[in-house]
C-alpha cells in the first residue's frame, strides 16, 4: 500500500477543515473586542495543535507514506509547514494575551503575569518557547553552523512541546465544546504518538534483533569512495527495492550517535546489503576506517524512487557523482529489453567514475546504453544541456527519467529535461540534503 502525495495532502487539508468546523461549533459571535480576540485565539490554537501533529506524522516514517510520497518531499513539506505552525502558535499566544488584556483592562505586562499564573497557560508558554527553539535551530543560517547531532537533539524538544500543548488544550477553553471534542483530540494525539513510537523505535529495534546485520567488508571503489558490504539473516523480509535507501547507524565508538541515509548500490541478495559512500564529512570519513564485525542498525527501506514510479517502457537513468549508487541498482533490476534502458553518468573525469566495471558488465548483459559525461562542471560545454541530452537520447520525451546527483546539478538537470520536452511528472528524483 502506498499513499500518493495528493491523497496525503487531501487528508491533511480535510483534517484542518474539520478542526475549523470544531471551532465554528464552539464560536459565540460577538462584536466585543475581547471576545473577537478570544475566538481568534481559539481558532489559531486548535490549528496550531493540529499542525504540530501533522508535522510529526510527516516524520513518523510510516512505510505507506514514505514509499508513496518520498522521504525528501516529506522533509520539505515538514520544513515548509513548520514555519506556519510556529506562526500559528505565536499568533495564538498574542491573541490570547490581547483578549485577556482587553477583558480585564490590564496592560500587556500585567496581563502576561496574570496569565502565567495559570498552570495550563504556563505549560503552553513553555511549549511555545520549545517550538521556537526548534524553529530557530532549523533556520538555514543557523543549521549550517550547528552539528547534526545537536540539531537532532533540539528537535526532540518537539515531543515535549506537543505534550505541554495537549495538556493546555484539554484544560483550557480550546476544547470547551464538550467531551466528544476532547475525546477526538485525545484520539488524534494517541494515534500519532503510537505511529511515532512504533515506526521510529519498535520497528528498528525489532529489525536489529531479527536480522543481526554486521559489516563484512569495507572496499575502496575510488578516491574517497568506499563500498560497505553487510550481511544478516532473513533480509528478504525487508522487501527493499532498488532505488531505496536506509538510515544506517554503525555501532562503532565514533559513529553510533548518528543515523546516516545511504541508498543501496546493489540489489539485496544472499542476505547481503551494500552501500557506496563518498567521504564528504567527519562521519563519512570514519566509515572508511570501519572494521569487519561492526554491528549495524538499519531503519527502512525508505524512498519512492523505485520501479513503481515507472510509466513508460523506456527509461533514462541519470546520475551525477556518487549519485550513481541508486542508479546502479536500478540499472540492474528495472525490467526492460535491449534498447529500453539508458544510463548517463556525469563526472569530472574518468578517475571519479565509481562502480565502472559493474556498470559496463550490466550494460553488456542487458543490451543497455551507457554514456559517461566527463568534464568540469564550469567547462564551456554542458553535456546536460537540453540539446546535448536530445543528441544522446533522441526520443527523450518518451522516457521516464530517474535522477540522482548533487542538489545544484539535479536542479539544473530537471530544468534542462523539461526544456527538452520531458513532462515534470515523468522525472523522478530524491535528495537527502533536506
pLDDT for 127-186, tens place per residue? 888 877 777 877 777 777 777 667 777 777 788 778 877 777 766 665 655 677 778 888
330: pLDDT confidence band, cut at 50, 70 and 90? very high
pLDDT of residue 345: 93
pLDDT of residue 12: 93
Q: Is 257 a residue whose pLDDT tops 80?
A: no
Which one has a higher pLDDT value, 379 or 365? Answer: 365
Kindly report, residue by residue over 268-281, the tens digit of the pLDDT: 988 899 999 887 76
pLDDT of residue 341: 93
Element (H, E) at 263: strand 260-263
Domain 307-429, second-level architecture: 3-Layer(aba) Sandwich (3.40)
- In whole angstroms, give the CA distance from residue 323 to residue 121: 49
- In whole angstroms, give the CA distance from residue 322 to residue 329: 13
- Please give the order of strands across the beta sheet that includes 427-429: 369-374, 341-347, 314-320, 399-404, 427-429
pLDDT of residue 178: 64
pLDDT average, residue stretch 205-217 = 88
- Helices and strands, number each (H, E), in the chain: 16, 11
Average pLDDT of the chain is 85
| Cβ atoms of residues 362 and 290 within 8 Å | no
Which one has a higher pLDDT value, 330 or 380? Answer: 330
Kindly report, residue by residue over 309-321, the tens digit of the pLDDT: 888 889 999 998 8
Element (H, E) at 325: helix 324-333
pLDDT of residue 254: 78
H helices of 156-297, where? 157-171, 179-197, 203-211, 282-287
pLDDT of residue 155: 76
For the chain, what are the domain ranges?
A: 5-206, 212-302, 307-429
Cα-based distances in Å from 18 to 140, 191, 267, 312? 33, 17, 44, 39
Half-sphere exposure of 294 (CA within 13 A, CB side): 25
Question: Domain 212-302 - what CATH class?
Answer: mainly beta
- In whole angstroms, give the CA distance from residue 335 to residue 350: 28
Same CATH fold assignment for domains 5-206 and 212-302: no
Kindly report, residue by residue over 88-118, the tens digit of the pLDDT: 988 988 888 888 888 888 888 888 888 877 7
Identify the top-confidence range among 29-43, 278-292, 310-324: 310-324
- In whole angstroms, give the CA distance from residue 383 to residue 347: 11
- In whole angstroms, give the CA distance from residue 383 to residue 386: 9
- In whole angstroms, give the CA distance from residue 74 to residue 67: 11
Q: Which long-range contacts (CB under 8 A, 24 or more apart) does 185-193 make?
A: 185/49, 188/50, 188/53, 189/53, 189/162, 192/53, 192/56, 192/57, 192/60
- In whole angstroms, give the CA distance from residue 72 to residue 98: 39
pLDDT average, residue stretch 15-37 = 83
Nearest residue to 208 (alpha-carbon basis) of 296, 301, 300, 302: 296
What are the residues facing 296 on neighbouring strands? 250
Nearest residue to 309 (alpha-carbon basis) of 432, 428, 431: 428
- In whole angstroms, give the CA distance from residue 176 to residue 173: 5
pLDDT average, residue stretch 382-390 = 88
- In whole angstroms, give the CA distance from residue 274 to residue 266: 6
380: pLDDT confidence band, cut at 50, 70 and 90? confident
Return all residues near 260 (Cβ < 8 A) that are at least 6 apart.
Answer: 247, 248, 249, 283, 284
pLDDT average, residue stretch 113-126 = 79
Q: Is 32 a residue whose pLDDT tops 90?
A: no
Q: Is 370 a residue whose pLDDT tops 90?
A: yes
How are beta strands 314-320 and 260-263 bridged, if at all? unpaired
Spell out a b/e string for 170-199, using b for 16 or more CB atoms within 10 Å of the CB, else e. eebebbebeeebeeebeebbeebbebbeeb
DSSP string, 298-323: EEEEE-S-SGGG--SSEEEEEEEGGG
CATH tag, 5-206: 1.20.120
Nearest residue to 87 (alpha-carbon basis) of 136, 32, 57, 44: 44
Q: Is 224 a residue whose pLDDT tops 90?
A: no
Identify the top-confidence range among 23-27, 54-58, 349-353: 54-58
434: pLDDT confidence band, cut at 50, 70 and 90? very low
Q: Is 432 a residue whose pLDDT tops 60?
A: no
Kindly report, residue by residue over 47-93, the tens digit of the pLDDT: 988 998 998 899 888 888 888 888 878 888 888 888 898 899 889 88
Amino acid at each position: 500500500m502506498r499513499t500518493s502525495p495528493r491523497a496525503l495532502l487531501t487528508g491533511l487539508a480535510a483534517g484542518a477543515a474539520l478542526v475549523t468546523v470544531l471551532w465554528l461549533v464552539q464560536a459565540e459571535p460577538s462584536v466585543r473586542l475581547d471576545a473577537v480576540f478570544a475566538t481568534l485565539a481559539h481558532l489559531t490554537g486548535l490549528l496550531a495543535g493540529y499542525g504540530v501533529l501533522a508535522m510529526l506524522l510527516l516524520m513518523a516514517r510510516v512505510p505507506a507514506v514514505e514509499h508513496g510520497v518520498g522521504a525528501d518531499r516529506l522533509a520539505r513539506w515538514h520544513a515548509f509547514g513548520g514555519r506556519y505552525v510556529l506562526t500559528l502558535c505565536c499568533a495564538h499566544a498574542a491573541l490570547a494575551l490581547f483578549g485577556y488584556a482587553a477583558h480585564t483592562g490590564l496592560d500587556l505586562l500585567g496581563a502576561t503575569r496574570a496569565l502565567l499564573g495559570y498552570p495550563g497557560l504556563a505549560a503552553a508558554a513553555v511549549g511555545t518557547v520549545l517550538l521556537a527553539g526548534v524553529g530557530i535551530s532549523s533556520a538555514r543560517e543557523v543549521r549550517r553552523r550547528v552539528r547534526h547531532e545537536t540539531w537532532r537533539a533540539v528537535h526532540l524538544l518537539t515531543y515535549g512541546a506537543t505534550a505541554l500543548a495537549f495538556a493546555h488544550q484539554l484544560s483550557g477553553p480550546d476544547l470547551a465544546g464538550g467531551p466528544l471534542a476532547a475525546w477526538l483530540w485525545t484520539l488524534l494525539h494517541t494515534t500519532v504518538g503510537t505511529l511515532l513510537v512504533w515506526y521510529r523505535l519498535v520497528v528498528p529495534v525489532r529489525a536489529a534483533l531479527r536480522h543481526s546485520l554486521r559489516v563484512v567488508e569495507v572496499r575502496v571503489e575510488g578516491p574517497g569512495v568506499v563500498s560497505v558490504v553487510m550481511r544478516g539473516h532473513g533480509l528478504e523480509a525487508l522487501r527493499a527495492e532498488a532505488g531505496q535507501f536506509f538510515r544506517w547507524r554503525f555501532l562503532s565508538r565514533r559513529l553510533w550517535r548518528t543515523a546516516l541515509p545511504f541508498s543501496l548500490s546493489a540489489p539485496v541478495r544472499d542476505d547481503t546489503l551494500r552501500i557506496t559512500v563518498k567521504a564528504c564529512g567527519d562521519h563519512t570519513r570514519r566509515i572508511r576506517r570501519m572494521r569487519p564485525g561492526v554491528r549495524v542498525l538499519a531503519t527502512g527501506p525508505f524512498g519512492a524512487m523505485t520501479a513503481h514510479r515507472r510509466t513508460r517502457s523506456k527509461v533514462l537513468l541519470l546520475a551525477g557523482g556518487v549519485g550513481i549508487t541508486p542508479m546502479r541498482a536500478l540499472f540492474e533490476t528495472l525490467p526492460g529489453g535491449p534498447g529500453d534502458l539508458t544510463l548517463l553518468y556525469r563526472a569530472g573525469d574518468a578517475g571519479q567514475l565509481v562502480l565502472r566495471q559493474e556498470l559496463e558488465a550490466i550494460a553488456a548483459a542487458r543490451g543497455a546504453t551507457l554514456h559517461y559525461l566527463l568534464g568540469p562542471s564550469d567547462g564551456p560545454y554542458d553535456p546536460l544541456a537540453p540539446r546535448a541530452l536530445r543528441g544522446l537520447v533522441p526520443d527523450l520525451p518518451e522516457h521516464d527519467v530517474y535522477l540522482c546527483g548533487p542538489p545544484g546539478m539535479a536542479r539544473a538537470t530537471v530544468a534542462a529535461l523539461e526544456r527538452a520536452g520531458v513532462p515534470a511528472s515523468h522525472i523522478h528524483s530524491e535528495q537527502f540534503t533536506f
